[in-house]
Amino acid sequence: MTKDKVLIFDTTLRDGEQSPGATMTHDEKLEIAELLDEMGVDIIEAGFPIASEGDFKAVSDIARLAKNSTICGLSRANFKDIDRCWEAVKHATSPRIHTFIGTSPLHRDIPGLTMDEMAERIHECVTHARNLCDNVQWSSMDATRTEWDFLKRTVDIAIKAGATTINIPDTVGYTEPVESADLIKRLIAEVDNADTVVFSTHCHNDLGMATANSLAAVAGGARQIECTINGLGERAGNTALEEVVMAMKVRSDILPFATEIDTTKIMSISRRVATVSGFPVQFNKAIVGKNAFAHESGIHQDGMLKNRETFEVMKPEDVGLAGTSLPLGKHSGRAALRDKLTKLGFEMGDNQLKDVFVRFKDLADRKKEVFDDDLIALVQQNSAVEDRLKLVSLRVVCGTEGPQEADMVMEIDGEQVETKATGDGPVDATFNAVKALFQHAARLQVYQVNAVTEGTDAQATVSVRMEEDGKIATGTSADTDTVVASAKAYINALNRLIVRREKSAPGEDTKTVSYKDA
C-alpha cells in the first residue's frame, strides 16, 4: 500500500499558548519554533499577529528564522487583521495566512452577521488574503456545529476565492470519530473543486476524542492535522502531535499515511514545551508521560524481560527515550552529565550545560544518587536570565507551636532586599515574605507538591498557578527542600505574570483579544 502524506500543522505557539497560564517569553517561542522546524513540522502557526506587539514580533522573527517549515499567522476575517498577519509572515521563505470566522449559529451571533453578510465577508477576506499571499488557509470555526448547507456554502466560497487549505475545526471538542470522518468525506464529495485544496482537521479534546477524531478525519480524506505538543491548548487542549504521529507510525498497517516528523525528537520537545509553558505533562499521558514506558507490576516486568513487545507497542527509542542505566553522583563529570542528558532527550549548548552542571553539583552534594527523574526536574526548572525576581536565601523556623517564621532575601531588579514574615505553616510564612518584598494582587489558585523519586532525600517538584486581573501564570520548581521549591515556584509564577503584564496593553493580549470584530 502506498502511503499518502499527511501534513503536520503545529499550533503550540498559537492555540497552545492561548491556554490560560501557558505564557512563553519571546526567546522561548523562538526556541520552540526552531525545534519544531528541525523535527519536520510542515507548517508552524507562530501566533496571532494582530493580538499584540509581542505576538507580531514573535511571528515575524520566527518567519525569518525558519529553515524548512511554512510559517503561518492567524487573522480574523477582516482586512486589518489580514494585513497585519501578512506583514509578519511575509519574511518567511514559505508564508501562509490563516483567516477564520465562526460559522455556527452561536458564533454567527457574535459579530451579528446574517448568513448572506457572512458569505460576502468570507469572499472578500479570502480574496484579499490571496492578493497578498499565494498560500491561504480558510477555517469555518465551529464547523462541527454549523448547519450542513451553510458550512458547504462557506467552503465553496473560500475555495472559489482562492483558499489553498480548508480547515474544518471542531472548536469545542463536540464531534466523534464516525461523524468526523463523514463530515470530511461529504465535503470532499460535494463542494466544488475539492481536489484543488487540502482539507485539514483541527480538533479540541473536550470529550477526550481529539486524537481519534483527527485520525478519523484523515481516513475521511483530510491531509492536514492541526495539533500541539503535549496536546497543549485551551480548556482540555488540542490534538496532541505526538499521539497522531505515533499512531500513524505504529498502525501503518491500517493508517497508511506518512509524515515528515523525526519521531526521535518527540521527547525532548515535549519536555521543553512543558518547561516553558509551565504545564507539566500528566504521568500517564500517552507517548510522553513519565509512566508511558514504565512497567511496575511484577507480571509486566517479567513479560518485558522475556520480550518487550509483550507490553509495548513501540520502542522508547522511537520517541527519543533511550533506556538509561546508572544514577549519577557527586563525582560524575560534565561529560557524563552531557551523555546522560542527551540520552534523556535534552540537547543543550555549552552555556546551558554549564548552568545545569553547577546546579547538578549542588544537588549531588545534598543527594547521594541523582536519578534520571532528578535530572529532568533540574533541567525543567523555569528560571530565565531576564527574571526580575530571584530568590537569594531562605531560612524558615518551624515548630509544633506556630506561627512559623521565614527570613528571606530576594533580588528584585538587581537589588537585594530582605524581610522576616510569619504565617500559618512554613509555606504560608514563605509566601508572605515574598508578598512583603514584592507587593502584588495576584491570587494563588493552585499549589501542588510531588516527590520526584523515592526516599526522604527526594526532590520535591512544586507547581503553583496564580491569577491577577484575569491573567494566569504557572510556576514550577524542584528542590530537596520542599519549602525552597515552593518559594522558587511562587517567584517563578510571579516572573511570568510580570511578563504577561508587560507584554501588552489592556485588550491587546492573545488571551483576551476578542473574536467579536471578526
The contact set with Zn ion (CB under 5 A) reads 15
The half-sphere exposure of 142 on its side-chain side, counting CA atoms within 13 A, is 16
Please identify which residue in 32, 63, 101, 141 interacts with ligand KIV, judged by CB under 6 A. Answer: 141
Q: 49: which residues sit within 8 A by CB, 6+ positions away?
A: 55, 56, 59, 60, 73, 74, 75, 81, 84, 85, 87, 88, 89
Three-state secondary-structure class, residue 313: coil
Residues in the interface with ligand KIV (CB under 6 A) total 9
204 vs 265, beta carbon nearer ligand KIV? 204
- What is the nearest approach in angstroms of Zn ion to the Cβ of residue 154? 17
- What is the nearest approach in angstroms of Zn ion to the Cβ of residue 240? 13
203 vs 377, beta carbon nearer Zn ion? 203
In 3D space, the residue among 10, 47, 33 whose CA is nearest the CA of residue 214 turns out to be 10
Q: Which among 107-115, 166-174, 297-305, 470-478 is the span making contact with ligand KIV, rule CB under 6 A?
A: 166-174
The partner in contact with residue 100, picked from Zn ion, ligand KIV, none with C-beta cut-offs of 5 to 8 angstroms by kind, is ligand KIV
The partner in contact with residue 63, picked from Zn ion, ligand KIV, none with C-beta cut-offs of 5 to 8 angstroms by kind, is none
- What is the nearest approach in angstroms of ligand KIV to the Cβ of residue 484? 39
Distances in whole angstroms, Cα of residue 455 to Cα of each of 131, 215, 370, 452, 480:
64, 43, 12, 10, 11
- What is the nearest approach in angstroms of Zn ion to the Cβ of residue 59? 17
Q: Which among 150-158, 165-173, 310-318, 434-442 is the span making contact with ligand KIV, rule CB under 6 A?
A: 165-173
- What is the nearest approach in angstroms of ligand KIV to the Cβ of residue 169? 3
144 vs 476, beta carbon nearer ligand KIV? 144
Q: 63: which residues sit within 8 A by CB, 6+ positions away?
A: 46, 71, 88, 89, 90, 91, 92, 95
CB 114 within 8 A of CB 150: no
In 3D space, the residue among 31, 19, 435, 109 whose CA is nearest the CA of residue 273 turns out to be 31
476 vs 510, beta carbon nearer Zn ion? 510
Of residues 470-499, those binding ligand KIV (CB under 6 A)? none
Please identify which residue in 99, 135, 139, 270 interacts with ligand KIV, judged by CB under 6 A. Answer: 139
Of residues 230-249, those binding ligand KIV (CB under 6 A)? none
Three-state secondary-structure class, residue 180: helix
Q: Taking CB under 6 A as the rule, does residue 173 contact ligand KIV?
A: no
77 phi, psi to nearest 5 deg: -80, 75
Q: At what angle do helices 177-190 and 210-219 cross, to 10 degrees?
A: 30
- What is the nearest approach in angstroms of Zn ion to the Cβ of residue 204? 6
Beta strands in 256-414, from DSSP E residues, in sequence order: 257-258, 389-397, 404-412
One character per residue 5-24, x = contact with ligand KIV (rule: CB under 6 A): ----------x---------
48 vs 371, beta carbon nearer Zn ion? 48
Q: Which among 167-175, 346-354, 391-399, 480-488 is the span making contact with ligand KIV, rule CB under 6 A?
A: 167-175
418 phi, psi to nearest 5 deg: -140, 160
In 3D space, the residue among 415, 397, 9, 390 whose CA is nearest the CA of residue 198 turns out to be 9
Q: Taking CB under 6 A as the rule, does residue 111 contact ligand KIV?
A: no
Positive or negative: CA dihedral 329, 333, 334, 335: negative
The partner in contact with residue 141, picked from Zn ion, ligand KIV, none with C-beta cut-offs of 5 to 8 angstroms by kind, is ligand KIV
Q: Taking CB under 6 A as the rule, does residue 374 contact ligand KIV?
A: no
- What is the nearest approach in angstroms of Zn ion to the Cβ of residue 260? 23
| Residue 251 CB neighbour total at 10 angstroms | 13
Please identify which residue in 100, 293, 346, 490 interacts with ligand KIV, judged by CB under 6 A. Answer: 100
Please identify which residue in 52, 171, 268, 380 interacts with ligand KIV, judged by CB under 6 A. Answer: 171
The half-sphere exposure of 405 on its side-chain side, counting CA atoms within 13 A, is 6
> Bridge partners of 328?
370
Per residue, the 3-state secondary structure of 429-496, as one string, reads HHHHHHHHHCCCCCEEEEEEEEECCCCCCCCEEEEEEEEECCEEEEEEEEECCHHHHHHHHHHHHHHH
The partner in contact with residue 426, picked from ligand KIV, Zn ion, none with C-beta cut-offs of 5 to 8 angstroms by kind, is none
The partner in contact with residue 154, picked from ligand KIV, Zn ion, none with C-beta cut-offs of 5 to 8 angstroms by kind, is none
Distance of CA 347 to the CA centre of its chain: 19
> Bridge partners of 457?
none
Of residues 199-228, those binding ligand KIV (CB under 6 A)? 202, 204
Q: What residue ranges bind ligand KIV (CB under 6 A)?
A: 15, 100, 139, 141, 167, 169, 171, 202, 204
